[in-house]
Amino acid sequence: MKRLVAWLMSGVVMAGLLLTLLLPSPAFAASDLRNIADDKIAERGGKVDLNNCSVRRFQDYPGMYPTLAGKIVLGGPYSSVDDVLALDLSDRQKELFNKYKGNFTVTDASIALNEGDDRINDGQYR
């Protein structure tokens, strides 16, 4: 009797496995696989987002890292790129910012890119 029950159970398990392989599973759209961070990164269009970046993103702009970058990061959030000029900046810092202003953008601040609110040291090392 035990052998019969074991044989029947193995048949049920095999039938279940075959059905799962043969029946189509629901396909997920590419938009279902995106997360908030992907959307925020796409929204900035390759520019530095002043409300959602860390100080390290300013390393590509000579003269801005780390002093001016720290002031910008800590002075946010901003509603426009020009809001940075309202900070307490020296004439040289304003000149540097205006030089690179086309490389910056502003989007709504998101916790997805500012986890822990540590925008000075975001833990990304070379």
CATH number at residue 105: 1.10.150.320
Tell me how far apart the alpha carbons of residues 38 and 22 are, in angstroms, rounded to a whole number. 34
Q: Is-contact 54 109, C-beta < 8 A?
A: no
Residue 22 lies in a domain: no
Q: Which residues pair with 105 in a beta bridge?
A: 49
Q: Is-contact 55 120, C-beta < 8 A?
A: yes
Relative orientation angle of helices 91-100 and 67-75, to the nearest 10 degrees: 80
Residue 84 lies in a domain: yes
Mean pLDDT of the residues in the chain: 81
Residue 43 belongs to domain spanning: 35-114
Residue 90 lies in a domain: yes
Comparison of pLDDT for 125 and 49, the residue scoring more? 49
At residue 114, does pLDDT exceed 80?
no
Looking at residue 84, what is its pLDDT? Answer: 92
Comparison of pLDDT for 64 and 113, the residue scoring more? 64
Reported as a single tens digit per residue, the pLDDT across 26-61 is 655 555 666 766 777 777 778 888 888 888 888 889
Domain count, the chain: 1
Residue 14 lies in a domain: no
Q: Is-contact 89 23, C-beta < 8 A?
A: no
Residue 20 lies in a domain: no
Residue 121 lies in a domain: no
Copy the structure tokens of residue 44: 């900035």
Q: Is-contact 100 61, C-beta < 8 A?
A: yes
pTM: 0.63
Residue 62 lies in a domain: yes
- 66 vs 50, 69, 97, 120, 121, CA distance in Å? 14, 5, 13, 9, 11
